[in-house]
Amino acid sequence: MKAAFVFNPRDVRIIEVPDPSIEKPDEVIIRVEACGVCPFDVRIYEGLFLPYTPCPIGHEISGRVVEVGDEVRSLRVGDKVAVDAIWRCNSCYYCRRGADNLCENRKGPLPNGFAEYFKMPERYMHKLPDSISFEEAALCEPLACCINAIEKIYDLQFGDAVLIIGSGPIGLMF
Residue 102 DSSP class: G
Does the pLDDT of residue 23 top 90, yes or no? Answer: yes
Ramachandran region, residue 108 (left: φ > 0; alpha: ψ -120 to 50; beta: rest): left
Q: What is the pLDDT of residues 48-64, one digit of tens each?
A: 988 889 999 999 999 99
At 108 the pLDDT is 63
Query: Which residues lie below 8 Å from residue 36, measured CB to CB, with a gap of 6+?
Result: 58, 60, 113, 138, 139, 141, 142, 169
Give the burial string for 39-66 (b: 16+ CB within 10 Å, else e): eebeebbeeeebeeebbbbbbbbbbebb
pLDDT digits (tens, 9 = 90+) for 101-122: 788 887 666 789 999 999 999 9
- The pLDDT of residue 142 is 86
Contacts of 126 (CB under 8 A, 6+ apart): 81, 82, 83, 84, 140
Domains delineated in the chain: 2-138 (3.90.180.10)
Please tell me what DSSP assigns to residue 13: E
Residue 33 has pLDDT above 90, yes or no: yes
The model's pTM: 0.86
pLDDT tens track for 121-164 = 999 999 999 999 999 999 988 888 888 777 777 778 888 888 88
Rounded CA-CA distance 13/115 in Å is 11
Beta strand spans in 91-156 (E) = 117-121, 125-128
| Half-sphere exposure at residue 33, Cβ-oriented, CA atoms within 13 angstroms | 20
Mean residue pLDDT across the chain? 90
